[in-house]
Structure formats: structure tokens, C-alpha cells
Structure 1
Amino acid sequence: MGERRVDAAEIDQVPWDAAEVWGRAGDAARLTEFGDALVRERAVLHKRLRNLDHRLTQVLRALALTPGRQFVKQLLHVYREAGATDAGTQSGPRFLASLLAEAQTLEDLLPVLSDDGGALWDELRACLFHELLLRGVDADEIRRRSHNIHFCAPWGGLAWLPDKLADMEHGAPFPSRSYNGGAGIGCPRMSSPVALDAAARGAGAAHPVADVTTVRLAEAITGPPEQGNWGAHDVGVFTTERPVTPEELPGVVASLPMECLEGLGAEHRFVFAPCSLGEVWRVLFATASGAGVYGPGVYGAYGRLSAWWSLAGLAGAQPGAGPAEVEEQASACTWMRFEADSEWFHNEINDYGIVALAPDGRRIAVLAATDTD
């Protein structure tokens, strides 16, 4: 080889044991030349593969968003071929299920729900089932039309979810996509926020609290901002020495020893508003399913799961509780949202604080999240 650069055409002509031969011969120059050639060719191929994956994603997106059974069938064909050849694609089953549920009718989606395509189909079908539920399609109708008992197979915890929408889940926000882009999901804003006055802050600070946050609780509660790729989040679960009333709650929350409230003084803005369980669920769902500034969310099916599990942690449901128990526990809590002008909050794109007060007034759970570029 001398000092000549090895070109791409020569790489495959080099014997497989060449590196060993050159190493035993002490030929560092040949090893280096060949290594440099491999690095250059790998960079070229990696760029080419990335471009092909992007183009494949465009095709799958166009097939999913073009209404009609023929487009659904062709998407399944391309999806099957991509999986069989281990072709990389940015359009995973969660994303494709979200696109299909947005653009296609139940009638045209029957090939997806009815086709037994093996493991490749399991997650796609499970996600599509929950995407359709969230959009108001009846579970029994899906089962009846698909004639398939396997499409809702357990996958990634989705089997834990109820197959009927809870009252709080109606009105879930969804993105609106086109072939090349679309509108994302924004978190619902607080309605009629009220500023916390100095007297209420002082009274709230007089309530002694104990931090009882555990790793398990923190992981469950912070699922939505984690999975939605939000900029930062903060969580705290506290018990109080004496019961806190809903009227006292804003003042107590403003005084909690949390990072998101650190440095908040009497002159700084702290606004709050009571909210419904449905509003809380929609905020959590939008956070998990929609895209944050730093990356995509997990779309409808897993966004639904993340919202439920976060709600369970905030409401204080017992480990292993089912959806009915979580809903009952959450319905009994008092819910509040807040925003603040502490340094932790950016108040630029999406910021919120969610608070759950237990029925006995002795447990307060807080999730704060902020998203900014």
C-alpha cells in the first residue's frame, strides 16, 4: 500500500486476516492506512443509511396519512419488509399507530387490527387500539369488527389500561399532522388564576411538613415530562402535622422545600387555580404524548399510560392498584395548578405545577415541569 490511500472499492478486496498478518509483521503503516479507509467509508455509509431511513419514514408517513384501505395495506407491506430486512426507520409502531388513528377510519384500519403479522404487529395493534379509544371509538366495536382476539395483546404495560375511557379522559388533545409537519400539542392553560397574597403565604409557611418522596413515587409521577422530553421537572410528596384545607393549600404549596420554588419571595408572582381531575389528566397526557423542545413524546397509547401512572402517584394510590382504584382515589383528591416566578420556572413555552391534596388534608403531592429552548 505504501503511502497511497485505500479507496472504497479496494476495501472488500482486502483479506479478512489482513489486520492480523500486518500486526504480526509489525506493519503499523498498513494497519493505519486501512483503518483510516474504514473510518472514511463508514462515515459515508452511515450518512447514506441515515438518508435512506429518513426517506423510508417519509414514505410510511405518507401512506399512513393518506385516507383509504389501499394505503393502509401498502403501509403494512412496507412496514413488514422494513422489519424483515432489519431496516432502520424513525417511524416506530407508536408513531405509525398515532398517524393511522388520525387519518384513517375504523373500516380502513381493519387490515392492521385483523392481520396476524406476529411480534412485529403486536405493539402496532396494541397502540392503535388505545389511539382509537382516545378518539372515541368503542372498544367492543373494534373487537367486533376486527374478529381478532390478539390485537390488544399485552405490550409495554398497555394491558394495564382500561378498555373504556374514564370520564376524565374525554377531550384528550391530539396533534394535527401533514405529510411534512404539523401542529403539536400544547398544554392547557390555567383558567382564571388568582395571585397568592402575603397573608396566605405567611399562614402557609406556618404549616410544618415532612418530605416523604420515594424513588418509586418520583419515577411514577415524573413519567410524563420524562417521556415527553421536557426541559426539567421537580417532584415532592409531603405529609403535614395537621390537616390542610383547600383554602390553605396555595399558601402551603408556595412554602414547600422544593427546587422549583427555591428563592421564591413575597414579591414574586405565585398564581394558582383549582382544577378538575379531567384538566389534570389532559395536562399529563399532553406532556407525555406530545413533543417537548428536546425531542418527541410517546404518542397517544403510551401517553395515556404515563398519565394514568403519574396520576396514581400524585393521588397516593397503593402499588399494584388497578385503574378503577386509581380513578376513585384521584377523584377524592383536591386538585390545584400553579405557576411561579422563581428562577427554576422559565415562563416561556410550557410551565406548570400540579398539586394533589389527599381527602384527609394530610398528604400533598406536587409535580412541576418546565420546557424551554
Structure 2
Amino acid sequence: MSDDQAALPDPAELKSLAASRPDQLRGIAAALAKGRRLPELEPLFAEPPRSVDDPEAELRACVLGELALMGVSWRGRPGPEAYAERLRELGHPLSWRPAARLDLEHRLGVRVRGAGPVKSAGQLRARFPEIPATEGGAAAGRTAREVRDAERAREAAGAFTAGGWAREPEARFFTLPEPLGDDDFGMAFLQGLPLDCLAGEMGPGGALACLTAADDVANELYSASFNGGVDGRPQYGAYARLHAWRGLYALLGLPAGTPFLDAVRYAADCRWLRFMAFTRWFHHDTADVGFAVLDPSRTRVAVLAATDTAG
């Protein structure tokens, strides 16, 4: 990377970018983090941030976020440590994230050759174990009661809305009168819920649900924000990681103050599904995703579906 590519813009340009193209400011931060070693970046953090609204503080917060995502530790380095602590005191949104990359995040930003978006039932079945439909699941789905929570829904869908996906995602939450058996948490259960993404006539491809895990969901949330939608803009690593964690917490129904390692343990006790359906809501064109999670008590369900094709 050349010096020009990793150089800091002047304050006036930073202010303009922060107001009109925050994605470009985040891109500059990503270039700095990837193009410079930490000792070369330390002078950026010589003075503490004055305000979270300061474009220079925003740039430096993004640099720290990119470094954390890359697994670069600034522990024992006074400048970055003090800067990060001051960002926490000021309440900067990027200060809410694990200080070090956790194992649950091992897939974030990692591209596996030949493993692109899942667009067909065959691809889904090839990558994840399918859960057979059960009569018990269908019956349980009809007993579910919806719990409306607009703020939680916004948080769950935040990665897709931030990335500018073509349509508003569907995020819904339900409670059950009694615990649901793991084997009954499948497509028959989901079809018993009043979900827009599964409503209407089903195409020849039908519908299927497969077992997955929290790291798969985190990776999809991260990718949706990092790459941006077809008509959206990429948010880069620091904010994509933030949206992924916010989305996970919302799907799990956990308050923001829950320690991250506790959230990881909680997620491991949940039952996770990735689903696909050939309804008019999905398009099987650019990108479609559908996830559902059953909590450890087996009485609470969250569903998130998104498509990047305008309907």
C-alpha cells in the first residue's frame, strides 16, 4: 500500500466525509489498519478524543475497531489503551464490542473458496443437516404467541439495513406455552408462525430448515453489513462487527450489559436454524437469508429473514 493510500485526510475533508459519506471514512480507517504496523499508528492516539462527534475521533475509533477485528492487540501501549478507554467513557458505539476477537467470530471476514452465498436448496442441504418436518412442530407453531418489540427488531435487522439491502428485513419474536422439543424445531414449526416471508403460495422448491450455529449467523450479519447490499454501501469491518454483535444480542434477547463470554455460552445452549423457502417474499437471486433461534428454555423463538432483491 502506498503512502497516499494510507495517508490521513485533512480535518476539513474528514468533516465532510463524516457528514456525507461515513462509509468512505470507514474505508480510510480500514486502509490505515491494514497498511500500517501498530507502532506506526500509535502517534494517531497521542491525544485523547474530545467528542464522539469529532470526525478525527471517529476515524481513530474505526482504526481501533479494525485492529481488534484483525486480532491486533494494543495492550500495554499507553496511547491506544487510553484512547480506547476515553471512547468508552464518551459512549462511542464502537466501544461496545469484545476487546479481543472471540472464537465465535472466527469466520468473520474469512473467504472460503467455493463457499459463496447459499442460493439453492441443494446448496443448503450440502452444507447443513436438514431437520425433518414433524407433526409436533406444526402443532406447536400454531400455539405460539407473538411478542412485538420494535427496538429489538431494529437491532436484529441492523446489519441488513445498515448495508442497504433492497427490502426491509423481517424480524419477529414469539413465546410458546410449553417447551418445544429440539426435533420439533424445524420448517413445520416455522410454517405455523404468522411470518410474512413464508406466507402465500409455495413454489416447486418448497421450504426446508437446516441446523446451524451462532457463528454462521454472526458471519451472515457481518457480511451483510461489511459488503453492503446491491444498491447499498459497504460499512467495513469495525461497524460490520458491531452490527453482527448487536444483531446476535437482539436475536438472543439479551440486554447490552450482558458480558460477551456469557452471551457466547448462552448462544451455545440455543438451537439455531437456517431456512429457505420458495415464496414470493424470497427471490433466490442476489442474496436471501433466513434464521431462527430457540432459546435455552425452549419457550422463546426469534426469526430473522432478509432479501437483497427488491420485490
CA distance in structure 2 between the aligned counterparts of 1:147 and 1:128, rounded to whole angstroms:
10
**Partner of 1:136 in structure 2?**
71
Unpaired segments ≥5 residues, structure 2: none
How far residue 139 of structure 1 moved from its aligned partner, in angstroms, is 3.7
Letter in 2 for 1:106: L
CA distance in structure 2 between the aligned counterparts of 1:326 and 1:249, rounded to whole angstroms:
22
Contact in 2 for aligned 1:187/1:283 (Cα 8 Å): no
Letter in 1 for 2:157: T
Higher relative contact order (CA 8 A, sep 6+): 2
Letter in 1 for 2:228: A
Match of 2:32 among 77, 85, 100: 100
4+ residue segments displaced more than 6 Å: 84-89
CA distance in structure 1 between the aligned counterparts of 2:202 and 2:131, rounded to whole angstroms:
12
Q: CA RMSD in A?
A: 3.1
User: TM-score normalized by structure 1?
Assistant: 0.69
CA separation of 1:156 and 1:202: change in aligned 2, threshold 3 A: same
Alignment of 1:49-198 (within 5 A): 66-68=1-3, 72=6, 75-76=7-8, 78-83=9-14, 90=21, 92-114=24-46, 119-140=54-75, 144=77, 146=79, 149-151=82-84, 153-154=87-88, 156-173=92-109, 190=124, 192-193=127-128
CA separation of 1:167 and 1:124: change in aligned 2, threshold 3 A: same
Letter in 2 for 1:79: D
**Partner of 2:260 in structure 1?**
323
**Partner of 1:309 in structure 2?**
246
- 1:221-255 Cα deviation digits (max 9, x unpaired): 11111111112211111111222122111121132
**Partner of 1:356 in structure 2?**
293
Match of 1:237 among 173, 178, 196: 173
Unpaired segments ≥5 residues, structure 1: 1-65, 176-184
- The alignment-based identity, stated in percent, is 29
Contact in 2 for aligned 1:114/1:146 (Cα 8 Å): yes
User: TM-score normalized by structure 2?
Assistant: 0.81
Three-state SS of the structure 1 residue aligned to 2:99 is coil
How far residue 107 of structure 1 moved from its aligned partner, in angstroms, is 3.7
Bigger radius of gyration among the two: 1
Query: What is the aligned length?
Result: 291
* 1:336 lines up with 2:273 in the alignment: yes
